Chains A and B, each alone.
Chain A
């Protein structure tokens, strides 16, 4: 099974800061990677799909990059409403399966 290693596990930053989260796959996953935001008591929300595509309606300060085994998620200018836990997720189609990173809890400094 493919393992996803996400770092850091927690992060404290100031409003306006640039924030970066990384995710590493245990083997080549091409661009089959999504990024989610989860706020307390809520379901995860898709932000980035296929490694670098912004989901409709998601602010442009969110972005993703990478392919193969190494991926990066960036918030260009942190806003107070961005406080949440972020997850990377790898997906396979044959057979269909998902694997999540451990999550990054983002807090305001």
Chain B
């Protein structure tokens, strides 16, 4: 069955960077894209961007342009999301999802605090 397994929780200081991984299994990794979605505490879902696992093409949410980078490693069927210059309002659970959201990872809590 399709599984997306994400890396563990992170605590970062303001200004630092975080890199979250998402390891896929149960399907042909390069046949689908990966979306990244985050959810601040008590808030709704916010789309961050998408990456093609086939050719690495990306499309980022405008508000995160310049701070976010999404990559994939097809040899390990793993997608990565790096967010830089972290602020307190980046504190959220970060999810990866296959394409538009048929399957989701379990989420990774990123806490930004001094």
Contact = CB atoms under 8 A, between A and B. Distances in A.
A34 interface: yes
Contact of A87 (B35, B44, B95, B100): B44
A43 B33 contact: no
B59 A97 contact: yes
Contacts of B52: 96
B46 A100 contact: yes
A96 B45 contact: no
B59 A96 contact: yes
B100 A43 contact: no
Contacts of A49: 102
A103 B52 CA distance: 27
Interface of B: 33, 35, 37, 44-47, 50, 52, 59, 61-62, 95, 99-102, 104-107
A99 interface: yes
A103 B61 CA distance: 19
B44 A89 contact: no
A13 interface: no
Contact of A34 (B33, B101, B106): B101
Contacts of A45: 104
Nearest to A87: B45
A96 B101 contact: no
Nearest to B6: A43
A102 interface: yes
For chain A, give the interface size range. 20 to 34
Interface in A13-61: 34, 36, 38, 43-46, 49, 55
Contact of B101 (A36, A95, A97, A102): A36
Contacts of A34: 100-101
26 contacts: A1-B62, A34-B100, A43-B95, A43-B104, A44-B45, A44-B101, A49-B102, A87-B44, A89-B45, A89-B100, A96-B33, A96-B35, A96-B59, A96-B100, A97-B47, A97-B50, A97-B61, A98-B35, A98-B37, A98-B50, A98-B101, A100-B37, A100-B44, A100-B45, A100-B47, A102-B44
